[in-house]
């Protein structure tokens, strides 16, 4: 298996049967994690980039079957942050050393193209040395262009699965696999640093679906890849489904690092939710980004995408100090910088 790992590290691609062996095979995964860590150190050293996450709205027009803030969840508590609240989050984050702010939310019509552009322009005016990342779902190319012109640097849009049939099992009929993929290509064409990603061991997922994800990443060449284990939410159709495993998620993080050596890969909150040291283990498997929460504590529990989400009660200062200690405990250090893609 060591030879296969080395082949991927050199060629960044494999035949289907070889992908299958690395994804589900019985072997010592520490060999895979160590090689992935070596490659991330070659490209990024021991720096771990911190992104300040601001969850701006728990309203969403979509009805994705796995998501706790899906439109038809009548038990979800809804909120929206005002422009002033978002700017206050940035003020706190800048003081704490954040140089990237990530505005994430459901697909909420209240946040019009013009309103988002206005907020982005103000953030860039106040903090010109910072990057602004948006993660606001599917829009048309013209909307993405307006936000880019306003100063947005990056956009995160998880493709969720590269398997067309699998996509249809996770989403309602009105959501289109083709439109989701077109959005990603539109973003890249405009000039954004683009992030995509998928859930690991979501309902109905097969090894073939994961191979399709790896082939899509190889073809698309995103700047960022965010993955995490599937975690069910009690108010969704998948409430009774099993959550994704730590081992499989770490395996996919490492495989992504070998496939895309220069990618920015978060060690996600979802990893920390399924294991007390999940985020540290993610870093050791090749990840190099963490995203502490800058949202007001009063609304964090309402942005409930899945059950038992961690860090919903921490103040921002507590959150970042805890994160710095966790990063240092496994031999890395948080970097006070924008943390741009190194390609």
pLDDT per position as a tens digit, 58-107 = 999 999 999 999 999 999 999 999 999 999 999 999 999 999 999 999 99
pLDDT tens digits, 195-230? 999 999 999 999 999 999 999 999 999 999 999 999
CA distance 137 to 89: 21
Q: Quick one: pLDDT at residue 24?
A: 93
Q: Which pTM was predicted?
A: 0.97
Question: Cβ(139)–Cβ(111) under 8 Å?
Answer: no
Residue showing tokens 């942005």: 303
Supply the pLDDT for residue 124.
Answer: 98
State how beta strands 228-229 and 199-200 pair.
parallel
Q: Are 229 and 205 in contact (CB under 8 A)?
A: no
Statement: residue 314 has pLDDT above 80: no
Beta bridge partners of 225: 196
The full DSSP string for 328-340 is: HHTT-EEE-S---
Q: Which residues pair with 55 in a beta bridge?
A: 104
What percentage of the chain exceeds 90 in pLDDT?
93
- pLDDT, position 101: 98
β-strand partners of 133: 102, 154
Select from 120, 325, 305 the least CA-distant residue to 226.
Answer: 305
- pLDDT confidence of residue 57: 98
- Sign of CA pseudo-dihedral 191, 224, 67, 313: negative
The 3-class secondary structure across 184-208, one letter per residue, is HHHHHHHCCEEEECEEECCCCCCHH
Question: With bands split at pLDDT 50, 70 and 90, how would you rate the model's confidence at 13?
Answer: very high
For residues 330-340, give the mean pLDDT. Answer: 94
pLDDT band per the 50, 70, 90 thresholds, residue 123: very high
Q: Beta partners for 155?
A: 134, 194
The size of the chain, in residues, is 343
Q: pLDDT category, 313, cuts 50, 70, 90?
A: confident
Q: Is the pLDDT of residue 159 over 90?
A: yes
Inform me whether the pLDDT recorded for 7 exceeds 90: yes
Contacts of 109 (CB under 8 A, 6+ apart): 61
**Is the pLDDT assigned to residue 312 strictly greater than 80?**
no
Instruction: Give the residue-averaged pLDDT of 236-249.
Output: 97
pLDDT of residue 136: 98
**Once rounded to an integer, what is the mean pLDDT over residues 10-14?**
97
Residue with tokens 């771990």: 48
């Amino acid at each position: 298996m060591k030879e296969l790992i080395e082949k991927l590290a050199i060629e960044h691609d494999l035949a289907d049967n070889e992908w299958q062996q690395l994804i589900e095979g019985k072997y010592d995964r520490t060999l895979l994690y160590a090689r992935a860590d070596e490659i991330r150190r070659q490209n990024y050293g021991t720096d771990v980039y911190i992104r300040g996450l601001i969850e701006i709205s728990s309203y969403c027009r979509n009805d994705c079957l796995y998501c706790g803030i899906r439109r038809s969840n009548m038990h979800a508590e809804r909120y929206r942050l005002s422009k002033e609240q978002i700017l206050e989050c940035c003020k706190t984050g800048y003081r704490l050393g954040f140089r990237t702010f990530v505005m994430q939310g459901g697909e909420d019509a209240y946040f019009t193209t013009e309103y988002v552009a206005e907020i982005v322009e103000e953030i860039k005016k106040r903090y010109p040395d910072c990057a602004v990342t948006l993660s606001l779902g599917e829009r048309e190319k013209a909307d993405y262009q307006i936000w880019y012109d306003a100063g947005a640097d990056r956009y995160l849009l998880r493709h969720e699965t590269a398997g067309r049939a699998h996509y249809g099992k996770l989403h309602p009929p009105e959501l289109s696999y083709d439109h989701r993929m077109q959005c990603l290509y539109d973003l890249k064409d405009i000039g954004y640093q683009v992030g995509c990603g998928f859930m690991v061991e979501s309902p109905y997922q097969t090894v073939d679906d994961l191979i399709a994800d790896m082939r899509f990443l190889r073809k698309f060449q995103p700047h960022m890849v965010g993955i995490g284990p599937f975690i069910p939410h009690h108010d969704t159709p998948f409430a009774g489904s099993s959550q994704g495993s730590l081992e499989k998620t770490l395996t996919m993080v490492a495989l992504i690092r070998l496939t895309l050596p220069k990618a920015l890969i978060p060690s996600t909150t979802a990893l920390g939710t399924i294991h007390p040291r999940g985020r540290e283990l993610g870093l050791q498997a090749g990840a190099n980004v963490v995203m502490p929460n800058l949202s007001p504590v009063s609304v964090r529990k309402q942005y409930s995408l899945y059950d038992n989400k961690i860090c919903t009660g921490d103040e921002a200062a507590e959150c970042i100090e805890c994160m710095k200690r966790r990063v240092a405990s496994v031999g890395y250090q948080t970097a006070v910088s924008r943390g741009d893609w190194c390609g």
